[in-house]
Amino acid sequence: MTDIKKYVTTINVFLIILISGVFIINLFLSKFINTLSLVINIVVVGIILITIFSTITTYYIATNKNVDNKLMKINFKIVSIIFPIISKLAKFIGISKDEIRKIYIKINNAYIYSNKYNFKGEDLIILIPHCIQNHDCKLKVTNDIENCKKCGRCKVKDLLGLKEKYNTKIFVATGGTLARKIIIDNKPKAVIAVACERDLTSGVRDIDKIPVLGIFNLRPNGPCIDTNINIKEVENAINFFTDK
Ligand code: SF4
């Protein structure tokens, strides 16, 4: 099953729960308290309609169809609100939370790519996870990636190349707290974040004042060890934010 099908399956379960809830309320409550029952009905029907609108929009975005920028913005806000419920529900019905996170990042990125920016390279921050560094390398790149000796055993070398070419700032973020501190200290106008599904989603949800493009790291050796980055994807993101 594709990611979007898993997302839609989870939403269907969510809608079934809501509709069953309304049915039960109508069965019991309306006999006693008519006004309260009416208000609950209106609220739940509203949530159902908003969820259906959001799911159709998400489906269009996930299947790379053209969606109006304003609809994308509204949809992203709706998905951000229902995301915690949907990801828990997905886990409950045996769908990995990461599949839902992938859809979340996809609609975040699609919305950002539907806007236009004209930042300078130095206005951008690229956040990378520590597991990008080759596990045998003893150099301390977490403090300063300039400490990399560019041996080429990992993508830190190529990231340094991007830093020099575009004058962007690159930091190794060893956790959400450090990532937040880096952003507060450096005040970037946009962030390009590379991480796994879980860290990327929490990072994008944390930073809502500036655009954050999310790029998934590649994990040929399993999670958290000698992970990889598609450097072209990072470079495309820099070119997009700098309007090149
Ligand atoms: S490219 Fe840099 S960080 Fe990676 S292993 Fe070589 S020296 Fe270490």
Residue range 138-168, pLDDT digits in tens = 999 988 999 999 999 999 999 999 999 999 9
CATH numbers and ranges of domains, the chain: 3-113 (no CATH), 121-241 (3.40.50)
User: Cα–Cα–Cα angle for 97, 71, 86, nearest 5°?
Assistant: 20
Ligand 1 pocket test target in 132, 140, 149 with most atoms within 8 Å of CB: 149
Mean pLDDT, rounded, of the chain: 92
112: nearest Cα among 201, 3, 192, 195 = 192
Burial code (b: 16+ CB inside 10 Å, e: under 16) for 80-95 equals: eebbeebbebbeeeeb
* pTM of structure: 0.91
Q: Using CA atoms, how far apart are residues 212 and 14, in angstroms rounded to an integer?
A: 28
Answer whether residue 25 shows pLDDT above 80.
no
Sheet holding 169-172, edge to edge: 169-172, 124-128, 190-195, 212-216
Answer whether residue 220 shows pLDDT above 80.
yes
Mean pLDDT, to the nearest integer, of 191-213? 93
Torsion of CA 77, 235, 228, 194, to 10 degrees: -30
The protein residue whose alpha carbon is closest to atom 2 in ligand 1 is 148
Q: Using CA atoms, how far apart are residues 15 and 20, in angstroms rounded to an integer?
A: 8
As for ligand 1, residues whose beta carbon falls within 6 Å of it are 133-134, 137, 139, 141, 148-154, 156-157
Answer whether residue 194 shows pLDDT above 70.
yes
Q: Please give the distance, rounded to the nearest whole angstrom, from the Cα atom of residue 163 to the centre of ligand 1.
A: 15
Q: Please give the distance, rounded to the nearest whole angstrom, from the Cα atom of residue 62 to the centre of ligand 1.
A: 36
* 100-120 pLDDT per residue, tens: 999 999 999 999 999 999 999
